[in-house]
Amino acid sequence: MKHAWDVFGRDDQLGTLNFVTPERRRAAAASIRLGQTISLTVPLDTPTLPPFGRAPLQHEIYAANDFSWGDSVTAFDTQSSSQWDGLLHVSHKSLGFYGGRTAHPTSTPSLGIDAWARTGIIGRGLLVDVASHWGTSNALSGRALSADDLEHMLRTQGSELHAGDILCLRFGWPDAYRTLDEGQRDGYMARPRCDGVSAVASTAEFLWNAGVAALVADNPTVESQPGDRNAGFLHHRLLTMLGMPFGEMFDLDLLAEHCRTQGAWDFLFTSVPWNLPGGVASPANAVAVV
């Protein structure tokens, strides 16, 4: 399997975030037109049942003394709610994690999410409203977005993908999920089916050649589900082999409305993951400045 481990060096901790240079961050400020902010993250307890059997949030408020209160999170899976998959999230069975590290995650702390916290994920964001382009998609069908589809949508909305961009894809998953009743949601979240990015090699090739710094979606997996063995596994292609961050279950609805109204699909994207040493994943803490 092709990889980019020697592009930034085998000891690299940032992956494609290296594409977000200081010059590109300064240029991203030109995407601020109104100076308004739009949150891109859902509450930490949303959805109530995280995907793939992950633990739901447990939050307690307690009296610290007779005049002040505190609170404690006694259970929380960092891969629930709006979150970043870090470089310790997936490893190739024979090749290991990004950079060829083959040790157990606890023995590979240099790849922790804290490396991204120290720089932040800050640059030009570009939104593609896939759901609107597809029109009839219900976001739970498992449809796969190809590189050709993405290029066509970019041309249609008059957008140009720049090196260093954080590419945000709205599939309309939250609305589709809300159509399920409570009983359906339990079974669905155990094994989500959703529209997403195609896992074939040409997708990874397109994103790498475009210089995409991070890939964000509003669904639980970024890539389409159920997966296709013949297509491969996009998490391996992007996270493990290229070092490209995955942002999952981001809230992109209000941003899409704003971009459609303004006729402009770029913005300043800001996110600072948890500074959790050796962490596998992190809540997104993301905001668009438009």
Q: Is the pLDDT of residue 280 over 90?
A: yes
Q: Is the pLDDT of residue 112 over 80?
A: yes
Q: Is the pLDDT of residue 12 over 90?
A: yes
Q: Is the pLDDT of residue 107 over 90?
A: no
Q: pLDDT digits over 169-188, tens only?
A: 999 999 999 999 988 998 99
- HSE-CB at 152 with a 13 A cutoff on CA atoms is 8
Which pairs from 103-110 meet CB under 8 Å and 24+ separation? 105/278, 105/280, 106/278, 108/278, 109/277, 109/278, 110/11, 110/13
Residue 236, phi then psi, degrees to nearest 5:
-65, -45
In the chain, the domains with their CATH numbers are 15-289 (3.50.30.50)
Predicted pLDDT at 197: 98
Q: pLDDT digits over 205-234, tens only?
A: 999 999 999 999 999 999 999 988 899 999
